[in-house]
Structure 1
Amino acid sequence: MRKILVVLLLTISAGFTTSSAQKLPPQKETLDVVMKVNKYFMEKYADYRTPSFVRNVTRPSNIWTRGVYYEGLMALYSIYPRAEFYDYAYNWAEYHEWGMRNGNTTRNADDYCCGQTYIDLYNICPKPEMLKNIKSNMNMLVNTPQVGDWTWVDAIQMGMPVLAKMGHLTGEQKYFDKMWDMYEFSRNQLAGKGMFNLADGLWWRDADFLPPYKEPNGEDCYWSRGNGWAYAALVRVLDEIPANEKHRQDYINDFLIMSKALKKCQRTDGFWNVSLHDAGNYGGKETTGTALFVYGMAWGVRNELLDKEEYLPVLLKGWNAMVKEAVHPNGFLGYVQGTGKEPKDGQPVTYESVPDFEDYGVGCFLLAGTEVYKLQ
């Protein structure tokens, strides 16, 4: 009888494992939805030179919002290398002369976010002019003593991967060292406290949100997309730095701490709220934070940093929710919070609402989709 019970339990366990594996969507299905969302964007913004005109301000198309889109496009290109994707990115970069908005000597991570794509393009087909400006700018950061530039959590995703990619490309440790010094300041020292709250495993958006600032329910304010930026930055850095880089384990530790915290915050429908610890403060489905969390968790599972049995259901629930409830038949992406820095900004967030900038939402979704694709 005992032997029968053991066999039965093993059979049930195997059934659960098989069932879990079957929940992964077929690669073609994942690719199709990613392609649909990207096609919508590329057709709507066919002229990559067109600047953004929002709130009576004209912004060039190498702004950070577009830089994030191209991060996603290059990820898509890595699994489905169509010439039109490469050309769209290359022509955009060449139009901007491989430079940054507001000049080629800048400490603002939003300005040099575009450098992530410049380096990716260089790695595919290297030409000296592609790296001239971004390498010069990174050398300026390395050769000056300031480390306190990343005073808002978004900057960690905009800036860190550029230094990581430059270090990978050149093999020079100085880029990794500067990246750590800047990250460590933002994490631990900014405003005397740092933006990363180890107790909750989440990031405050900037010094304005450090305690005693509270959400309406009395909790600390942890903005979904802000934490998504930090989470994605860790993934993109870990993808670039060598296995023996002296701070690799520090980045891994933060990634694992965040993963555990984010898992606890997921909504029952698979999305994450704009406010991670106060569902009543502009609560509701939100795509950009959800996409970035799915991106990070899928990468973590694929690279065996996250337990597959524990995190695969979480990330698939998030992915399936976005596919079924955020993606319109024509590829438009719903539930994207507009720009801002906290839950109340960029509202309303609905299935139909068009955010002030569409590009970064698409970029986040493409990053998530390509990692889900790679899981098989």
Structure 2
Amino acid sequence: MKIFNTYTTTLLIAFFLSACSSTKKVVEQKQELTAVDVLQSLQLTNRYFMNKWTDTGKPIYTNRWRPSNIWTRAVYYEGLMALYQIDKNNEYYNYAVDWGNKHDWGMRNGLETRNADDQACGQTYLDLYEIEAKPERIQKIKANIDYIIKSGKVDDWTWIDAIQMAMPIYAKLGVMTKDQTYFDCMYKMYHHSKTQEGGGLYNKADKLWWRDKDFVPPYKEPNGEDCYWSRGNGWVVAALVRVLSLIPENEAHRAEYMSDYKAMMEALVPIQRPDGFWNVSLHDPTNFGGRETSGTALFVYGMAWGINNGFLDAKIYRPVVEKAWKAMVTEAVHPSGFLGYLQGTGKEPKDGQPVSFSSQPDFEDYGLGCFLLGGTEVYKMLSR
């Protein structure tokens, strides 16, 4: 009897382990990323926003009124144009065109603004011009950048966010006009931010950027590390990706941009959180540590783009990308399409806090733009 019981028990255990193994495989299969799932997440989050903001020209109110062609909304439209690449929905195109029309294809503060936050809208204006070459779409942003170049002043990008807001415009105008002047000025402004502003905002040792001169050492985080703000570094990643996607292979400074891009990608891998996100403070998880969507989405954008274009080793970076994307979709995306864990505007970890699943940032448009940019590249990665 004992033998029978032992044998029966052994069989039951074997059956149980086999069943568990099969269940695990089913769960793993369900968790496997597919391009269809990614696209559905992009459509859901974008639909939420378009339904909420039916009037593309409506000013944005937080603590005061702001026109809706500022940088926050401009980043959303960058993401929307990326989504349009993989999902040719005319609603997206018409929504973007309506936004340009409502603002007369201009910038906040006019043709002589030097503020990159004002110029960011020009990225989408130029994208739309390439689709349909209506002169009003290019006229004002080109006049503004020409004004900047003519001034000879190259120290406007005093904070690293500005690199993303403005740099791709120079790259696109250089390609469109076949005029080296845009590439040359773009590099001078990038070089100033990188090596001269505040003594240089890029730290070669850590391969990351200080947000502006206020955070260059001796400034330290509570744990004694340098302050590398997640979204700020994400902006630089996005700028480099967008510029490298545009400029010719033989452009004089392409190798430097590529080197900086790859160095940043390498630096980000070991500091990814176990849950897939990145902290708002990249080297101090104790300073407002926790999930944060915008920086994470921008890093996903950079890594997935690098995989798709053969610049990064998929064996190393694809698991990082997939882990981060799954984390955002699982933990940050509401059933309505609202994005949680999104840090509000600011320039350092303490700004826009607290950040939680249900917290409402002061602006939610740029976070969605980052998510759409990242998701579009993940979709391409999975579709290859």
Which band: TM-score by shorter chain?
over 0.9
Superposed, 1:97-108 pairs within 5 Å as 97-108=104-115
2:319 matched residue in structure 1: 313
Residue aligned with 2:196, SS: helix
| CA contact 1:24–1:316 (8 Å) conserved in 2 | no
TM-score normalised over the length of structure 1? 0.93
Amino acid at match of 1:48: T
Are residues 1:31 and 2:39 paired? yes
- 1:268 and 2:278 matched: no
Alignment-derived partner of residue 11 in structure 2: none
Aligned to 1:330: 336
For 1:143, what is the secondary structure of its paired residue?
helix
Structure 2 partner of 1:86: 93
Partner of 2:349: 343
Counterpart amino acid of 1:186?
S
Match of 1:361 among 354, 358, 367: 367
Aligned to 1:252: 258
Offset, 1:336: 0.3
Unaligned residue ranges in structure 1 (runs of 5+): 1-19
Q: For the structure 1 residues 21 and 78, does the alpha-carbon distance in structure 2 shift closer, same or farther, using more than 3 Å as the test?
A: farther
Distance in 2 (alpha carbons) for counterparts of 1:179 and 1:21? 46
User: How far has the Cα of 1:68 moved from its partner?
Assistant: 0.2
Alpha carbons of 1:315 and 1:22: their partners in 2 closer, same or farther (altered >3 Å)? farther
State how far apart, in whole Å, the 2-side matches of 1:163 and 1:348 are. Answer: 36
Offset at 1:23? 7.6
Give, in whole Å, the separation in 1 of the partners of 2:150 and 2:34. 48
State the Cα distance separating 1:146 from its structure 2 match: 0.6
Residue of structure 2 in register with 1:212 after alignment: 218
Rg comparison, structure with higher value: 2
The residue aligned with 2:293 is 287
Q: Of 288, 303, 308, which aligns to 2:309?
A: 303
Partner of 2:75: 68
State how far apart, in whole Å, the 2-side matches of 1:121 and 1:184 are: 29
The answer to whether the 8 A contact 1:23-1:316 is kept is no
1:164-183 to structure 2, matched below 5 A, reads 164-183=171-190
1:46-61 aligned within 5 A = 46-55=54-63, 57-61=64-68
Q: What are the equivalent positions in structure 2 for 1:227-238 lying under 5 Å apart?
A: 227-238=233-244
Q: Distance in 1 between matches of 2:314 and 2:29?
A: 10
* 2: CA distance, partners of 1:23 / 1:264: 23
**Could you report, residue by residue, the CA deviation over 1:83-122 in whole angstroms, capped at 9, with x for unpaired residues?**
1100100011011000001112111000000000000000
Aligned to 1:6: none
Superposed, 1:149-164 pairs within 5 Å as 149-164=156-171
Q: Which amino acid aligns with 1:109?
A: A
The residue number in structure 1 matching 2:229 is 223
Displacement after TM superposition at 1:22 (Å): 11
Of 132, 135, 141 in structure 1, the residue corresponding to residue 148 of structure 2 is: 141
- Note the alpha carbon deviations across 1:175-210, whole angstroms, 9 max, x for none: 01100000000000112x210001000000000000
| Native 8 Å contact 1:267 1:273 kept in 2 | yes
Q: Tell me what 1:9 maps to.
A: none
Deviations 1:25-44 (A, max 9, x none): 22111100100000000001
- Mean CA deviation greater in 292-301 or 163-172: 163-172
Q: For 1:316, give the aligned amino acid.
A: E
Question: What is the deviation of 1:168?
Answer: 1.3
Given residue 359 of structure 1, which amino acid in structure 2 is its aligned partner? D
Q: How does 1:15-26 map to 2 (within 5 A)?
A: 25-26=33-34
CA RMSD of aligned residues (A): 1.3
CA separation in 1, counterparts of 2:326 and 2:207? Answer: 25
- Where do 1:107-122 residues align within 5 Å? 107-122=114-129
User: In 2, Cα distance between the equivalents of 1:46 and 1:104?
Assistant: 27
Give, as a single letter, the amino acid of the residue that structure 1 aligns with 2:36: K
Hey, what's the Cα distance between the residues in 1 that align with 2:32 and 2:149?
43
In structure 1, what is the Cα distance between the partners aligned to 2:307 and 2:29?
13
User: 2:29 and 2:319 mapped to 1: Cα distance?
Assistant: 9
User: Alpha-carbon deviation of 1:21?
Assistant: 12
Is this contact kept in 2: 1:69–1:362, CA < 8 A?
A: yes
Q: Give the drift of 1:142.
A: 1.6
From the superposition, tell whether residues 23 and 197 of structure 1 become closer, same or farther in structure 2 (CA, over 3 Å). Answer: farther
CA distance in 1, matches of 2:280, 2:222: 14
Unaligned 5+ runs, structure 2: 1-27
Between the aligned partners of 1:210 and 1:264, the Cα distance in structure 2 is 22
| Structure 2 CA distance for aligned equivalents of residues 265 and 59 of structure 1 | 36
Give secondary structure in 2 for the equivalent of 1:269.
Answer: coil
